[in-house]
Amino acid sequence: MVTSSYANKLKQTPIELATNDPLSPPLGTSFQYQQLQLSQKLLTTIDLETLISLFFDDLTEQYTIAGLVYACPGDNIEISLGTPAKFTHEQRLFAGQDYLGTMSIYCHKELKESNERRIRHLTHTFAFSLRNALAFRRVTLSSQTDYLTGAGNRSALHASLDRELELAQRHKHPLSLLILDVDFFKSINDQYGHPFGDKALKLLVMELKKVARISDTVFRFGGEEFVLILNSTNTQGAFVIAERIRESIETLQLKSDDGDSVSLTVSVGVTTLQEEETASSLIQRADKQLYIAKSNGRNQVSVDTLEQAPKPDIATA
C-alpha cells in the first residue's frame, strides 16, 4: 500500500530502476557523497542478506525508515528487516534489462518528495550490486542443493543458519527452527523399496515448499530428516507452521508399484532462538523436541517452550 500523495503517482506507474531511467536532477554535493559512500559499502560483500542489511542500515541512518522487505518470487526470496509501518513506498527493481524483484520500504511518517527522490537514487545504486549478489546466490545454491530432493543440503543449512542467526540477533528479530522426521520411513523402504522411498522424499519436499512461506528455507538434514529455518517467526508462529505442515503431509497419498495406497506422517521439533544462543545449541534443542515428539507416539509437534504456544492435541500414529 502506497499512502503519500506523491507515492500515489508511483502506484499508478511503478518505478523501474533501469540504467536508462530518467533520474531526477542532481540533489547536491552532500547527497552525491552519501551515494558514493553507499556504493563503497555495497562493494564489501556479495552475500545477498548482508548486502540488503547494509542497504537498510544506510537508509535508517539518513531517513525515518522503519522496515524493509525485499522479494524476488522467481528465486523464492523474501527478506524482511525492521518492522512494518503505516506508510509504504514500493519499487520494482531493475539493473539494465534484468528484473530483480520488488522492494517495500516502511515509514512511520509520510516521506517528503525530496526524500523519496533520494531513496530512489540510492536504490538505483543498490540495484546493480543486487544483481551481482543474486547471480552469486544462484551459483552457490546449485552447489548446495540436495541432488535427490531439491532441498538445501547440510552445508547450505549451516551457512544459512549462521547468517540468519546473526541478522536476528543484530536486528532483534525472532528466529525459529523446525526439525521434522518421516515416521517409520525404514519400514516404507523395506516394504516398497528404496526407489519408492526416494519418490516419497521428493514429494515430501515439494509439499514442504508449497505449505511453508516463501521466506522459509527447507534443508535436508540427513536421511529422512529435514530442517526449516523460519525467520521473523516467534514460537507461536512456528508452532502454527509446524502444525500446518504436519496436517498437510498426513493427507498425502502415494501409490506403490503394486497399487497400494501409502500415507506419510511426520514428527516435528520446534524451538526459538534465545538471546546469545549459538546455531549448534538451537539445532540441539530442536532435535531434542523431535525426539520427544517421536517418543510420545509420532505424528505430532513438540515445542521447547510450550507456555508460548498452544499445547498440541494430536492423535498419535
How many CB atoms within 10 Å of residue 184? 15
Given 78, 116, 224, 225, which residue is catalytic? 224
Catalytic residue status for 224:
yes
- The 3-state secondary structure of the chain, one letter per residue: CCCCHHHHHHHHCCCEECCCCCCCCCCCHHHHHHHHHHHHHHCCCCCHHHHHHHHHHHHHHHCCEEEEEEEEHHHCEEEEEECCCCEEEEEEEEECCEEEEEEEEEECCCCCHHHHHHHHHHHHHHHHHHHHHHHHHHHHHHCCECCCCCCECHHHHHHHHHHHHHHHHHHCCCEEEEEEEECCHHHHHHHHCHHHHHHHHHHHHHHHHHHCCCCCEEEEEECCEEEEEEECCCHHHHHHHHHHHHHHHHCCEEECCCCCEEECCEEEEEEECCCCCCHHHHHHHHHHHHHHHHHCCCCCEEECCHHHCCCCCCCCC
- Active site residues per annotation: 224
